[in-house]
Amino acid sequence: MGLVAQIRDTALAALPADRKTEFEQYLTPESVASQAVSLFTPTPFPVRILDFGAGTGILGAETAIYSPSGSSVTAVELDRQLAALAGQTLDHVGVEHEVLCEDALSVTLDPVFDRVILNPPYKKIAPVSLATESGYVPVSNLYTAFLVCAISALKPGGECVAIIPRSWMNGEYFAAFRTWLFGVCSIDVMAVYGSRQDHFRDSNVLQEIMLLKLSKRAQGSLVMVYDGISPSDDLQTVEHVEASLNDLLVGGSRILRVRRQSSRLAGLPTLAESGLWVSTGKLVWFRNRDILLSEPEEDSLPLYWSDNTAQLEAEHPVSGSRREQWVSNNAYERHVVLPVGSYCLVNRFSSKEQRHRVMPSLLTSTVPFVADNKLNYVHQGTSRNTIPLDTELAAGLTLWLASSLVDDWYRQVSGSTQVNATDLRELPTPSKKTLTRIAQKLPLNAKPSQENIDHVISQILEENS
């Protein structure tokens, strides 16, 4: 595969930076291609292979090399230069092939393929609905659109392997897509990379990436799950677990986890079922620049950003912050003001590399205030009506969300940098009474350590079991 990898590397170096950024297009490294192909079920019979959004054709070529003699490849690639390189790649491996220089999302393909392999562009798009045999599927991202079309091109019983972000596994944006996918395919293998940098080291990929193997049939009894793999791993020998799909699903929106949920969380209601609600801060700063204030004025209101929530207790104002810390009372006219009381604030963005994915902070405000749109806030009202929490309840919830147990739960359900309100509502959460007990045992002003937080919460959960 030396020449095939060389074609890919040369094409990557020549691909304009703005093109890669515009479509979030990352040409597949040889090591990742080999891992992806290894997930296909061995067969003694020739297969028809579709390389969908082929780039330089490395995935189709690798699949053909490990397929029986007499197999063929159809490559679909919009970019004329890349399509020509895909032809060279497939010529080099000596497989029967055709290269279609067409838009993968509009090309007409009959469902005749035994194997489909793809590493689609990852870019977000305006929501659209794609027609399939089982109805219309709403998608809001190029990679899910490609995956819908790829699966539609599979024959019954055919297999698809995709190199995609993990973000489809959780969040409201992908709920309809998940429902469709579970209805038409068996989830056979999920292999999640441990680092966001290892797999596409030369392309600056920021998403958490996975290999997903699907079969166009009813769901199989078990899903094979690899968590934390690297591109050098042999997936035939590396450690993995097997679980039923139902054991990996969470909540009404069918969030898909990488591991079974901890037994310590079994039986706990969701945060929403515990009588709590997660909303998103109402101030979008760039639409409200005219009311932002660097210094307080008469009747001005405090403004909270992620800068203010770096500790378990929110701080205001933050000295030296580049962010304005107040808004004028015109904020009332913008309908962004939240009422006096106690809340648990949670940053909406965090990465896999951070010590905690869920970063909570207690806010007890004696005046009305404003929260930036990059903060979630937990209260006991509804999406239309904000009702503050009792202070001890808010403190207990903050400690619960800061626990290692919650951090592990969230890492298993989310591969994106966003901490979605929808996902938090599905988080297993003790009763309000239990949360209050946590706060009473661990006063926040004593600045409890992570070890203390985890120990006390574990102790209380055992007492309640």
Is the per-residue pLDDT at 200 higher than 90? no
Residues 227-249: tens digit of each pLDDT: 989 988 999 899 999 999 999 99
Q: What is the pLDDT of residues 82-113, one digit of tens each?
A: 999 999 999 999 999 999 999 999 999 999 99
All domains of the chain in start order, with CATH: 2-260 (3.40.50.150), 277-464 (3.90.220.20)
Q: How many residues does the chain have?
A: 465
Which of 19, 36, 39 lies closest to 28, judged by CA?
36
- For residue 44, count CB atoms less than 10 angstroms from its CB and return exposed for 0-12, middle for 13-18, buried for 19 or more: exposed
Q: Which pLDDT score, from 0 to 100, does residue 321 have?
A: 85
Q: What is the pLDDT of residues 153-182, one digit of tens each?
A: 999 999 999 999 999 998 888 999 999 999
Higher pLDDT, 396 or 265: 396
- pLDDT digits 0-9 by tens, 337-377: 999 999 999 999 887 777 888 999 999 999 999 999 999 99
Radius of gyration of the chain (CA): 25
- Segment 394-401 mean pLDDT: 98
Give the residue-averaged pLDDT of 322-329.
95
Dist CA 440 CA 434 (whole Å) = 10
Provide the token pair at 410: 């969230």
Question: Residue 332: its pLDDT value, please?
Answer: 97
Sheet holding 72-76, edge to edge: 96-100, 72-76, 48-52, 113-118, 154-165, 209-215, 186-193, 223-229, 241-243
pLDDT of residue 10: 46
Which structure tokens are listed for 211? 């290999």
Task: Give the model confidence (pLDDT) of 28-73 as tens digits.
Answer: 788 899 999 999 999 999 999 999 999 989 999 999 999 999 999 9
Q: Over 80: is that where the pLDDT of 138 sits? A: yes
pLDDT at 16: 57
Taking alpha carbons only, the member of 49, 96, 56 closest to residue 79 is 56
d(CA 284, CA 213): 39
pLDDT at res. 420? 86
Q: Given pLDDT bands bounded at 50, 70 and 90, which one contains residue 24?
A: very low
